[in-house]
A and B are shown apart, each in its own frame.
Chain A
Amino acid sequence: MTTATDSLPVTDNPFTLSHLDALEAESVHIFREVAGEFERPVILFSGGKDSIVMLHLALKAFWPAPVPFTLLHVDTGHNFPEVIEYRDRTVAQHNLRLHVAHVQDFIDDGRLRERPDGTRNPLQTVPLLDAIESNKFDAVFGGGRRDEEKARAKERVFSLRDEFGAWDPRRQRPELWSLYNGKHAVGEHVRVFPLSNWTELDVWQYIEREGIELPEIYYAHHRDVFKRDGMWLTAGEWGGPKETETVENRLIRYRTVGDMSCTGAVDSDAATIADVITEIAASRLTERGATRADDKMSEAAMEDRKREGYF
C-alpha cells in the first residue's frame, strides 16, 4: 500500500513557476489565441482594476507590437471622474482606439427607460449588445473572474453568445486542456475571460508586482458619502442622497469600480497597494458582496443578467 508519506517533498526545481507567473502565462496565451483566430476582437475597458490588469496583460502579450485590439467602454453616465480621466489618459498613452457606448443616448431616444431606483448598471446590456452588433465585434474580452460569483464559476474562458448575446449555461461547450474553441456563426460572438482563474487577491498581488497604476479611488481617501442598503455611496447627480439620507465625510476606498449608483465604498485606511492586500486577505466579505447592490437583487441576479447578454 502506498501512503502519503511516500510522496516527494517540494523540490527546489529551478523551473517551478510562481502562481502569478502561471496565471500570467495562461492569460497571455488566451489573448494570443483570440488575436490568431478572430477578425474583430475588442476589450471591454471600464477603468476598473480587472480591465486595467487585462490591458496590461495584452500589452505584454504583443510586445513590442501594439495591442491589436480596440477598447470599448459602456458608459452609464454615472461615472467617477477620476476613472474617466484615467481611461482617457491610458488610451492616449498606449495609442489605442476607444469606442464609448453611452447609456444616456439610449435613454434619450427612448430605447431604454430609467429605472425607478436610478441604478443604471442593469441598463448596460442593451448598449453593449448594440455596440457589438454595429461594430461587428466577434470576440469581446471581459475582466470577469470565476471567483466573483457562483454563476461566473460556471463560465467558460471562451463563452459563445448567440445573436441576442445570450448565455445559456446548459449549452456551454466543454473546455479541455488549453484548446479553446472560438468557432461561431455570423452574428454570434464569443465572450473571452482571460482572468477566469484569477482571484481578487491575485489581481492585487499582480498589480503590486507589476507596479500598475490604478485610479485613486481604489485607495483610502476622504469622501462625502451616505448610507443606503448598508453601503456607503457617493453623492452624485444620479439621485442620491434622498432627503432621509445624511451625508458624512468618511475615510473610504472602493474595492470595485462601476456605476456610482450601485457601487459601494468600504471604510478603509489602506493607502498603498500593500495595505490593500493586507486588508483583502483579512476581509470576511467578498468583493461583490461588500460593494455591489445589483447582485443583491435576487439569488440568481448575475445568472439572469448574463442570460440577457450581460458580462
Chain B
Amino acid sequence: MSVTIETSATSLLRFATAGSVDDGKSTLVGRLLHDSKSVLTDQLEAVEHASRKRGQETPDLALLTDGLRAEREQGITIDVAYRYFATARRRFILADTPGHVQYTRNMVTGASTAELAVVLVDARNGVVEQTRRHAAVAALLRVPHVVLAVNKMDLVEYAEPVFAAIAKEFTAYAASLGVTDVVAVPISALAGDNVVEPSAHMDWYGGPTLLEHLETVPVGSDPSEQPARFPVQYVIRPQSGGPDMEKWRDYRGYAGQLASGVLRVGDAVTVLPSGHTTTVAGIDALGVETDIAWAPQSVTVRLAEDIDISRGDLISAGATPVPTKDVEATVCHLSDRPLHVGAKVLLKHTTRTVRALVKEISYRIDIDTLEQRSAPEGLAVNEIGHVVLRTAEPLALDSYTDNRRTGSFLLIDPADGTTLTAGMAGEAFDTVRTDADGEDWV
C-alpha cells in the first residue's frame, strides 16, 4: 500500500522496539519503514545490490538497518540506531535496539527517551525469559505505554486462544511491574497482518493495527499535572556584546528547557539549591515574549529579583524537591569497567555536574526474576542495581518515578570522560524481592 506523507505539522512519537532477532524485529521494523514509504528506491537498490554481492537471491532487508561495516560483516547489530518515518497523522522516531548480548544497556538507552515500547514475542514460544526482561526494562525506565506485539501469528494458524493466553500472561506480569498501559496486537510482520493493514486472517481481533495504535496513542503527559522544573542551562546577558547592546542593557534571562510542568508569568518560584524565592517576571519563547510555557519547550525565563543564578541551578514551582548530597538510586551500568564501592565519579544531573562517591552498592537486581542479589564484585556492564552516592554539592533531585528528566543522571569517569552508568533516583520496582522471599516468583 502507499501512505501519503502529510506535509503539515503533526505530533511526534518517540518509541523503542525490543526483541531478539529471532522474534522478527528486523522484519517488523522493515515493514513499518517500507509500508510508510520511508524506504526509497535508491536505498532498496543499494540493498538489492549488496544482497546479490553476497549471493542472496532476495533482498536482505536487515541491510537497510545494519549500517556499519562490522555489522554487515558479522551479521549482527552493534547498537542503537534511530529510524525516522511519518504517516499522515504523526512523525515517528524509532530507537531500534538490538537484542544480542549487550542488550540491557542498549534497551535502557533506547527506552530512556521513548514514550512507548514495542515488546515483540514469537507466538509459538509465548512469554519467555527475554520477554520478561523487556517488560522489566520498560518498567524500570518508566516508559508510559507498552505494546505487546505477538508476532508470527501465521505460524500458529492465526489462533485466537494462542494470542489471548500470551496477552493475558504478559499483561499480568507487566501490571506486577507497575506498567498499566499495555496494548496487545496479534501480528505477522512477514505477511503484513495487523502491522499497517488490518489482517484478513484474524476476524476475531477488534483492535487497531500496530501502526494505527502508534498513530493514536496520546503523546506526552499533561504538563499541567506536574510541578514546574526548569534547569538553568545558560545565562543570557546581551550587554556583554552584540549590535543591540544598548536596547538590551538590562536584560538578564535564564535559558533552559522545561523538564516538566507549566510556568506562567507571575508564578512564585524557588531557585535551588540556594532556596531563594521570587516570581517569574517574563518568558521569552525563542525571541517572542509569551506569558506561558510548558514542558518540553525551550525558553528563556526572566525573574523579578536579581538573584545570583548560574548554569546548574533549578527554577522550581509547585512542590519543590529538597536538595540533598545523599543520593539513593537504581542504576544500569553501561561501561566495561565495573562500578565499585569507593569509586570517585562525576555525576551529571540536568545541567549540573558534581563530584560523587559510590558509598554503597546495596544490591544487584536479577532482571529475569527481579530478585535482589548481593554485589560484592560491584556492578558489571549491563547489570542493574541499587546504589548509594554521596555528592560534593547538593542536588535538587526528584524521584525518577515522578519525573524522568529531573530524576535521571549519568555517572562519568573523571579520568577520561567515559559514560559509566545511567542512574534513576529512587527504588526500581515496588515488587523487587529479596532472595529470601521465595522461589516461585512469576
Contact = CB atoms under 8 A, between A and B. Distances in A.
Interface of A: 1-11, 13, 15-26, 28-29, 32-33, 35-36, 60-66, 95, 146-147, 149-151, 153-154, 160, 169-170, 172-179, 181, 183-185, 196-197, 199, 201-202, 205, 209, 277-278, 281, 283-286, 289-290, 299-300, 303-304
Interface of B: 4-5, 7-12, 40-43, 46, 50, 64-70, 72, 78-84, 86, 90-91, 93, 105-106, 108-109, 112-113, 145, 164, 167-168, 171, 181-185, 206-208, 212-213, 216-220, 222-224, 233-234, 236-238, 240-244, 247-248, 251, 255-257, 262, 284, 286-287, 294, 296-298, 300, 311, 334, 346, 348, 350-351, 404-405, 408-410, 412, 416-419, 422
Contacts of B11: 10, 16-19, 22
Instruction: Point out which of B72, B81, B164 has the most chain A C-beta atoms below 10 A from its C-beta.
Output: B81
Given A24-B286, A25-B298, A169-B70, A36 B220 contact: no
Given A18-B10, A183-B412, 14 more contacts: A3-B167, A7-B183, A9-B218, A19-B10, A19-B91, A29-B298, A63-B286, A64-B248, A66-B238, A66-B242, A146-B84, A150-B81, A173-B419, A185-B417
Contacts of B72: 299-300
A20 B206 contact: no
Contacts of B8: 205
Nearest to B174: A2
Given A65-B248, A278-B7, A285-B40, A183 B417 contact: yes
Contacts of A60: 286-287
A64 B234 contact: no
A185 B40 contact: no
Given A25-B298, A278-B7, A151 B220 contact: no
A17 to B, nearest CB: 7
Contacts of B41: 284-285, 289
A169 B79 CA distance: 9
A16 B217 CA distance: 13
Given A4-B208, A15-B222, A181 B348 contact: yes
Nearest to B113: A177
Contacts of B243: 66, 95
Contact of A4 (B171, B207, B237): B207
B20 to A, nearest CB: 20
B408 A176 contact: yes
Nearest to A198: B84
Contact of B206 (A3, A149, A284, A299): A3
Contacts of A176: 108-109, 112-113, 408, 410, 422
A202 B408 CA distance: 29
Contacts of B237: 65
B220 A170 contact: no
Contacts of A29: 233, 256-257, 298
A101 B422 CA distance: 39
Given A3-B184, A61-B298, A181-B417, A170 B78 contact: yes
Contact of A169 (B78, B256, B311): B78
B217 A7 contact: yes
Given A8-B218, A169-B78, A286-B43, A1 B171 contact: yes
B50 to A, nearest CB: 6
9 contacts: A7-B216, A11-B218, A17-B297, A18-B9, A170-B70, A183-B412, A281-B4, A281-B5, A300-B69
Given A10-B216, A17-B297, A176-B410, A65 B240 contact: yes
B40 A286 contact: yes
B40 A65 contact: no
Contact of A9 (B183, B184, B216, B238): B216
B286 A20 contact: no
B167 A1 contact: yes
B84 A178 contact: no
Contacts of B206: 3, 5
Contact of A179 (B68, B168, B297, B348): B348
Given A2-B182, A24-B298, A28-B257, A303 B412 contact: no
B105 A62 contact: no
Contacts of A201: 5, 7, 86
A25 B296 contact: yes
Contacts of B113: 176-178
B400 to A, nearest CB: 10
A13 B218 contact: yes
Given A7-B183, A185-B416, A15 B242 contact: no
A36 B353 CA distance: 12
B143 to A, nearest CB: 12
A15 B12 CA distance: 13
What are the 8 A-B residue pairs with the smallest beta carbon separation, nearest first? A183-B417, A150-B67, A289-B42, A4-B207, A19-B12, A28-B298, A18-B9, A66-B242
Given A6-B183, A16-B220, A36-B351, A147 B40 contact: no
A33 to B, nearest CB: 6
B101 to A, nearest CB: 14
Contact of B234 (A32, A185, A281, A290): A32
Given A17-B220, A22-B296, A179-B348, A61 B207 contact: no
Given A13-B222, A18-B10, A22-B12, A178 B78 contact: no
A62 B233 CA distance: 11
A1 B69 CA distance: 43
Nearest to A288: B42
Given A35-B234, A303-B69, A285 B184 contact: no
Nearest to A169: B68
Contacts of B262: 15
Nearest to B69: A300
Contacts of B222: 13, 15
B408 A177 contact: yes
Nearest to B77: A154
Given A5-B207, A170-B78, A32 B255 contact: yes
Nearest to A65: B238
Task: Tell me which of A8, A19, A290 has the highest count of chain B C-beta atoms within 10 A of its own C-beta.
Answer: A19
A19 B9 contact: yes
Contacts of A17: 11-12, 220, 296-297
